[in-house]
Structure 1
Amino acid sequence: MNTPTRITTTAVTLGLAMAMLAGCASTSADAAPTAVSELRLGYFANVTHAPALVGVEEGLFDEALGDVTVQEQVFNAGPAVIEALSAGAIDAAYIGPNPAINTFIQSGGASARVIAGATSGGAALVVRDGIDSPTDLAGTTLASPQLGNTQDVALRSWLKDEGFETTTSGGGDVQVTPTENAQTLTLFQQGKLDGAWLPEPWVSRLVIEGGAHVLVDEGELWPDGAFPTTVLLVRAEFAAQHPDVVEDLLEAHLAALAWIDENPDALPSTINAALDAATGKPLADDVLARALENVTFSPDPHAEAFAALVENGVAAGTQKDGSIEGLFDLRALNGLLTAAGADKVDDAGLGAKE
């Protein structure tokens, strides 16, 4: 099946990835590498986490990390990932930007670092028949994946801009009910929810399987339609102690992006194989095709959007205000990109200094 997938030019080719896998000196000199036997990696069984799914299914993490065993753990939403990361139960994760911001601010910058982007786009507010404009949302009940996750913040922020009050306890003019994605689909099909702000493939599942329609494509709210959906986050202590392993993880990540770029026809079956292995529930072909039309895969984390994301989280009442200077450490990523002849990505002045 030839599925149209939007891939940015910064997603390098397979040949480029192999050049990077040949080796590049680590740019992290803060700590000498120490021995480690495993890397515990979290990700979601979502289309927006396709680089992780491809990396697992195609064996790219195992190839790049060599003797370091990769232990994968599947999560449903970002706040649960942050709990695991903060407890030292995982070392790195594919995650939405708002939970990454939350942990950084709450820890005073000590908890984690964004080391790469992964996915842009692929989130929307979908609603039932009879809701055709924001004014129709008064008194409705909408779902988000989890309180404080990236789509939850986007929904609450957008509702506030439209003049609706929400509360984190489910009150206000529009009731926002954080709900696990699969349960959201069931409740929507039963008529117990009026809509939801979700990532792919759940947007497409509600549209195709639940008869929903898109009221707001989140891309319409951002300049040039570009907004971060998934980034690669590493626990700061792990990064300081094992910079060589982090670099190997980045090599695998870039190899996964390269594989996606080079194999658009094979991408749907690879994603479905990974989803089947992780959850036992592959996607219908039409759902997967629609979902892939709405996402872009790239190592660019769109750091320029993060200041607005902080404002949105504060306005939504799901996070504290605070500085995110130092949230990004793209030095190893940019070292690999430069060595491979690719363009660097920008940290918008929010990164580790040389």
Structure 2
Amino acid sequence: MKKKSIFLAIIFMLFAGILAGCGADSATGKKDGKEKVVIGYFPNINHVPAMVAKDKGYYQKELGDGTTVEYKTFADGSAFMTALKTGEIDAGLVGPGPAMNNYSTGADVRVIAGASTGGTVVLARKDSGINSVEDLAGKTFITPAVGCTHDVQYETYLEDLGITSERIGGTMKHLTGNAAQYSAMLQAGKIDIAVAPEPWAAQIQLETGAEVVIPWNEISFGETLPASILVASGKMIDNNKETIDKIVKAHKEAVDFINANPEEAKEITIKDIEITTGQELAKEVVDLAWDRIGFTYEVDQEAIQAFSDSSYALKFLKEKPDFKEFIDLQFISTETASR
């Protein structure tokens, strides 16, 4: 009888534990009894729509009081895509390069809106002896990650000049790192070339005297390619269509606000980047960077295809991808899209 009582007690505790587990907050779906949505973005000016939506409470307003909105920042696209694939984040802004690379290898990622264009600038270290693009062969350059958006833009531009990286048999040496550290690395002579997203390009130019070798509007795909895109997983779109619709609405509100209120948007950007990186950007840095960026939630599908073709040609992608299901713009009204 005693053994039976112990057995029943164990069964009861196990059953209670299962019930407790079912009622507890999950890692990504619930918090304090509310639905939880996590938005990811990077601390650079191409990702200002996320910063503005966060500051203005647009996501929270659209998703309602029954949802807790959290934010997570990333230094590169690889970390962002890992977080999206594992469900650590539900949606967010990332460059098209990492999204395409992961999609081509089977990742469940979909583009649901554009966010920005432009913002990639190539700068040469002062006294590096680099006076034109022809001098870049054999030099050391840095980008946030191998095959990232900025890397593909840079290597595409130079390939037309017959200059390639060591990765594919050329002479350019490639390093990767956090763009916020590029100024220090240039001044220390660790790199010759910085392929930098804004606002770090403007900061490098103003702080170190580095020369712009390839302007934002001359680098490959500079004016047409979405520099950042809003993405989510196909599973999230299929299972939580209403949530995604609200996220896109909040995103569109943020883009409209940026275009209507650039000075206030700059203040929000400076504050958010300082909180995230510990670096306070000077207003003149942000002003210069802002002139090299456009904000829109439209997506140039032809530019994305051309970019992917180049990624394949540069051997960042093993197979030429089919993007039929990669871009899902059902949540965007083309009649009201920002231009």
Q: State the SS of the aligned residue for 1:225.
A: coil
Bigger Cα displacement from structure 2, 210-219 vs 294-303: 210-219
The answer (yes or no) to whether the contact 1:219–1:227 under 8 Å persists in 2 is no
Aligned partners of 1:233, 1:304: CA distance in 2, in Å? 18
Residues 161-219 of structure 1 deviation map (CA, whole Å, 9 limit, x = unaligned): 221231349x7311111122123221111122111111101110110112111111242
Contact 2:297–2:338 (8 Å) recurs in 1: no
**Structure 1 counterpart of 2:204:** 206
Matches within 5 A, 1:1-354: 37-66=35-64, 67-107=66-106, 111-129=108-126, 130-168=129-167, 172-221=170-219, 225-320=223-318, 321-334=320-333, 338=335, 342=336
CA distance in 1, matches of 2:181, 2:291: 24
How far apart are residue 106 of structure 1 and its match? Answer: 1.0
The verdict on how the C-alpha distance between 1:168 and 1:72 changes in structure 2, with shifts beyond 3 A counting, is farther
| Larger RCO, structure (CA 8 Å, separation 6 or more) | 1
Q: Deviations over 1:80-107 (max 9, x none)?
A: 1111112222111201111111122111
CA contact (8 A) 1:147 1:168 kept: no
**Deviation (angstroms), 1:279:** 2.6
CA distance in 1, matches of 2:34, 2:238: 12
How many pairs does the alignment contain? 303
Whether the 8 Å contact between 2:80 and 2:94 is mirrored in structure 1 is yes
The answer to whether the Cα contact below 8 Å between 1:126 and 1:197 also exists between their aligned partners in 2 is yes
Q: Is the 8 A contact 1:119 1:228 kept in 2?
A: yes
Alignment partners' CA distance in 1, 2:159 and 2:133: 11
CA displacement, residues 282-326 of structure 1 (integer Å, 9 cap, x when unaligned): 211111110111101001122120111112211222222221112
Q: In structure 1, the residue corresponding to 2:184 is in which secondary structure?
A: helix
Q: Could you tell me which amino acid in structure 2 is paired with residue 122 of structure 1?
A: G
Q: Distance in 1 between matches of 2:337 and 2:254?
A: 17
AA aligned opposite 1:265: E
Distance (Å, rounded) in 2 between the aligned partners of 1:244 and 1:236: 13
For structure 1, list consecutive stretches of 5 or more residues without a partner in the other structure.
Answer: 1-34, 346-354
- Contact 2:255–2:338 (8 Å) recurs in 1: no
Q: Is the 8 A contact 1:160 1:166 kept in 2?
A: no
Two-structure CA RMSD over aligned residues (Å): 2.1
- The alignment-based identity, stated in percent, is 31
Change (3 A) 1:183 1:261: closer
Q: What's the secondary structure of 2:101's corresponding residue?
A: helix
Q: Between 159-168 and 202-211, report the one with greater CA deviation.
A: 159-168
**Paired amino acid for 1:53:** M
Structure 1, residues 12-52: CA drift from partner, whole Å, max 9, x if none?
A: xxxxxxxxxxxxxxxxxxxxxxx981111110000110101
More deviation in 274-283 or 95-104?
Answer: 274-283
SS of alignment partner, residue 262 of structure 2: coil
Q: CA deviation at 1:344?
A: 9.1
Instruction: Give me the whole-angstrom Cα distance separating, in 2, the residues matched to 1:344 and 1:152.
Output: 28
Listed as ranges, the gaps of 5+ residues in structure 2 are 1-32
Q: In 1, are the aligned partners of 2:216 and 2:222 still within 8 Å (CA)?
A: no
Judge conservation of contact 2:41–2:94 (CA < 8 Å) in 1.
Answer: yes
Q: CA deviation at 1:251?
A: 0.9
TM-score by length of 2: 0.84
